[in-house]
């Protein structure tokens, strides 16, 4: 059920908050062994929060998320509940404070069912780099969910929560949403506070939402967005009311179709499905405008240089001294740090740290990091030029459907190139939303993305909602 439907049933007392929460917990217990979407399930806490939510509902003081069971990606700090980043180095880390988004969800009476599995430190595109084992796609458990928010997307697709908070650094909400056949929203950089989000790449990270529909993502975003004094990069431009344009006419709107997103590397069935969605918009009165983004061919290289450089800096804090895992039998301070990081981090995290430090080294900084920053500026300029004439931009979310587990994980370059359709949005700090627009010959979902101007989430949500109402989405059946 949609969040609004669940809310109405709670308000009308057709179902109680504790009863609703228990129904999700029962389903998790019964079926998540096949999916591995949760790292930590919180039945006692969820029951307490549901009881508190019921009191709000009974008092007539309930917002739309009051009593709604949600799941939270395990790199978002939750007071008193383990936050592991799916890494050995934080396996037993329990935060003493809540992230700002959690404070806002707690205040409104939402229920947290548990913490979601993910790629370690959000580094990966398959959710197979987790220290706690990989996540399996509910549509086909032999396939990946995408990453890094694979647990978030899988939990929504499998019906293990009403919606989930994920994070998106280079497509990490949208790509798993596409692979798992749900809707994934990456807000504008600064629209949602990052305070309490364990950083991967601070200039690219953004907390987002996985849900069953564009409207559901909007309802969650209404609660978690806004300026936060604890996060200097959060913006006052995030005003909320993200459902405001749903149901309004699309006639006369212009949709940019950047030709580079439909070229080499994009499978024929993905290209066909997205262009069929474009025809829907054309029939709704929109004008399709062919546009160009010449810098797309450099985007993946620029993204991995920038994100890895920031990751190398951010992850330097994990040294075995202050918190987290500490290696044993070290004879010196230097050896302790070396052994802790060698034993505590997985291969993909080590790869990013090495790449980031290399790019920042004296003698290589100008050749790599500075050039990547120039490409970033060029991508921002190219998006701005497109938005001079277009209201939104339509692209595929991923070049292919979800692949078999083990098929690409041992080829980092191939894995990185799979981000080609999503990384430019993070580089430019723009909002984007992914929703299913078809199914491949393998039966797996195909996703399309709508990209908007900065802080224009309401627009892309309205475009997405209009399409979703016309599209027959398949559901996972257990």
Average pLDDT over residues 230-242: 97
User: How many whole angstroms separate alpha carbon 345 and alpha carbon 329?
Assistant: 18
Q: What integer is the mean pLDDT of 300-321?
A: 96
> Strand, helix or coil at 274?
helix
Catalytic residue from among 164, 172, 225, 308: 172
Angle at 424 between CA 261 and CA 365, to 5 degrees: 125
Question: Per the residue annotation, which of 18, 73, 115, 453 is the catalytic one?
Answer: 73
Specify which residues 396 forms β-bridges with.
Answer: 448
**pLDDT value for 362:** 84
Span 384-401, pLDDT tens digits: 999 999 999 999 999 999
Q: What is the pLDDT of residue 446?
A: 98
Rounded CA separation 240/223 (Å): 8
Q: Rounded CA gap, 433 and 286, in Å? A: 18
Q: Is the pLDDT of residue 447 over 90?
A: yes
pLDDT digits (tens, 9 = 90+) for 255-302: 999 999 999 899 999 999 999 999 999 999 999 999 999 999 999 999
Written as six digits, the tokens of 264 are 């080499």
CB 185 within 8 A of CB 208: yes
Tell me whether residue 451 is exposed, middle or buried, using C-beta atoms within 10 angstroms of its C-beta: 0 to 12, 13 to 18, 19 or more. Answer: buried
State the DSSP code for 137: B
Does the structure show a pLDDT above 90 at 378? yes
* Count of Cβ atoms closer than 10 Å to residue 471 Cβ: 13
For 153-199, the pLDDT digits (tens) are: 999 999 999 999 999 999 999 999 999 999 999 999 999 999 999 99
Q: Is 234 among the catalytic positions?
A: no
What's residue 414's pLDDT?
Answer: 78
Q: What pLDDT is attached to residue 323?
A: 83
Options 148, 149, 235, 295, the catalytic residue: 148
CA nearest neighbour of 433 among 453, 452, 454:
452
Residue-range domain boundaries for the chain:
3-250+431-468
> Residue 25: what are its φ and ψ, rounded to 5°?
-60, -40
Q: What is the pLDDT, as a whole number, of residue 442? A: 95
> What pLDDT score was predicted for residue 410?
75
Q: Specify the 3-state DSSP secondary structure of 447.
A: strand
Whether 397 and 449 have beta carbons less than 8 Å apart is answered as yes
For the stretch 36-87, pLDDT in tens is: 999 999 999 999 999 999 999 999 989 999 999 999 999 999 999 999 999 9
Q: What is the pTM of this model?
A: 0.97
Which of 2.40.30.10, 3.40.1390.30, 3.30.160.270, 3.90.1300.10 is the CATH number of 3-250+431-468? 3.90.1300.10
| Active-site residue, 73 included | yes
Instruction: Look at residue 320 and give its three-state secondary structure.
Output: coil
- For residue 322, name the pLDDT band (cuts at 50, 70, 90): confident
* 373 catalytically annotated: no
Omega into 148 within 30° of 0, i.e. cis? yes
Among the listed residues 451, 450, 436, 431, the one whose alpha carbon sits nearest the alpha carbon of residue 401: 436
pLDDT digits (tens, 9 = 90+) for 202-224: 999 999 999 999 999 999 999 99
């Amino acid at each position: 059920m949609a969040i609004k439907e669940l809310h109405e049933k709670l308000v009308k007392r057709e179902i109680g908050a504790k009863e609703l929460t228990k129904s999700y917990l029962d389903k998790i217990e019964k079926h998540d062994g096949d999916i591995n979407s949760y790292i930590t399930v919180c039945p006692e806490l969820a029951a307490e929060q549901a009881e508190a939510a019921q009191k709000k509902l009974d008092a007539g003081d309930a917002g739309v998320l009051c009593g709604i069971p949600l799941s939270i990606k395990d790199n978002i700090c939750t007071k008193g509940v383990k936050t592991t980043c799916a890494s050995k180095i934080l396996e037993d880390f329990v935060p003493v404070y809540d992230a700002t988004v959690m404070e806002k969800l707690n205040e409104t009476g939402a229920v947290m069912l548990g913490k979601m599995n993910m790629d370690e430190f959000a580094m990966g595109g398959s959710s197979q780099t987790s220290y706690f084992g990989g996540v399996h796609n509910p549509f086909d458990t032999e396939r990946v969910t995408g990453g890094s928010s694979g647990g978030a997307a899988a939990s929504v697709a499998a019906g293990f929560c009403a919606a989930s908070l994920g994070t998106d650094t280079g497509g990490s909400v949208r790509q798993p949403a596409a692979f798992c056949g749900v809707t994934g929203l990456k807000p504008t950089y600064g629209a949602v506070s990052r305070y309490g989000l364990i950083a991967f790449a601070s200039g690219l990270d953004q907390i987002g939402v996985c849900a069953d529909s564009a409207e559901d993502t909007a309802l969650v975003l209404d609660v978690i967005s806004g300026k936060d004094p604890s996060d200097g990069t959060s913006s006052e431009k995030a005003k909320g009311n993200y459902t405001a344009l749903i149901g309004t006419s699309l006639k006369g709107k212009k949709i940019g179709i950047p030709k580079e997103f439909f070229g080499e590397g994009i499978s024929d069935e993905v290209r066909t499905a997205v262009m069929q969605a474009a025809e829907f918009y054309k029939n709704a009165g929109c004008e399709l405008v062919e546009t160009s983004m010449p810098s797309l061919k450099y985007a993946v290289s620029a993204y991995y240089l920038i994100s890895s450089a920031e990751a190398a800096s951010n992850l330097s804090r994990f040294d075995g001294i202050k918190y987290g895992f500490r290696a044993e039998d070290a004879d010196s301070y230097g050896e302790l740090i070396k052994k802790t990081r060698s034993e505590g981090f997985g291969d993909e995290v080590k790869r990013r740290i090495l790449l980031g430090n290399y790019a920042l080294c004296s003698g290589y900084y100008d050749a790599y990091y500075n050039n990547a920053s120039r490409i970033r500026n060029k991508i921002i300029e190219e998006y701005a030029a497109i938005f001079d004439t277009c209201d939104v931009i339509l692209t595929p979310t991923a070049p292919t459907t979800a692949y078999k587990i083990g098929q690409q994980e041992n080829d980092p370059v191939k894995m990185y190139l799979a981000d080609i359709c999503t990384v430019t949005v993070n580089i430019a700090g723009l909002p984007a939303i992914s929703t299913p627009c078809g199914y491949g010959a393998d039966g797996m979902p195909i996703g399309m993305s709508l990209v908007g101007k900065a802080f224009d989430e309401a627009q892309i949500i309205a475009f997405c909602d209009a399409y979703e109402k016309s599209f027959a989405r398949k559901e996972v059946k257990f």
